[in-house]
Amino acid sequence: MQKKRPRSKGGSNSGSEAAPTTQAEGGRRVRVRSRLVAGVAVVGITAIAAGTPAVLAASSDLTDSQHLVTLAELNQQAISLAHSLADERDEVTVYIAGGREGEPGNRGARVDQQVDEIREAAPADLLRDLSTIPSLRRDAISGKGTALEAHRAYSEVIAKLHGLADELARSTPPRAADATRTPQ
């Protein structure tokens, strides 16, 4: 193993003619440093430019996923309301078919509470349909219409609530649909 650099026959360092002056040495350092900084900057800018589409795609996916979560929560409330409304519909239909004798069921309070809960997140067209529930109930109990008419009127509102589930199914991207399927 050699500890010293080999010298040329003239006694100076091999590979250099004369020792550079301090000014040239400092200038050389600045030039090398500038090139190094420029090289690192170019690589950094290239990496950022290459990653930008991926970041934008991830941001778009995040926005879509948040919309789906909101729609799924609304769908859960709508399905629960649809079940409660179906129970009220069945109760009112039995009440009308029985000649409107006795007291109608008391499921209306639960339906009204669920309508109030869903009201802030529901779309405008669904809100219009939900606003008809008190008049449906009033008409059915007061003696206007038959059991079949009351059943149909309630069923129309229930179908609109189920329409939210259809919208969720249509807007679910394939990447999310695979995760929601049950294993076979």
- The tokens of 99 are what? 């000649």
Per-residue pLDDT band at 21 (split at 50, 70, 90): very low
Please tell me the distance from the alpha carbon of residue 51 to that of residue 180, in angstroms, as a whole number.
30
Integer angstrom CA distances of residue 174 from 67, 92, 178: 15, 41, 6
pTM above 0.85, yes or no: no
Give the pLDDT score at 158. Answer: 94
Cβ neighbours of residue 77 closer than 8 Å, sequence gap 6 or more: 114, 117, 118, 121
pLDDT at 155 over 90: yes
- The tokens of 84 are what? 């409660």
More confident residue, 14 or 94: 94
Give the pLDDT score at 95. Answer: 87
pLDDT at 113 over 60: yes
Please tell me the distance from the alpha carbon of residue 24 to that of residue 138, in angstroms, as a whole number.
98
Integer angstrom CA distances of residue 149 from 3, 82, 96, 107, 140: 105, 18, 10, 19, 9
Mean pLDDT of 166-182: 70
Give the pLDDT score at 22. Answer: 44
Taking each helix axis from N to C terminus, what angle separates 147-171 and 133-142, rounded to the nearest 10 degrees? Answer: 160
Give the pLDDT score at 19. Answer: 47
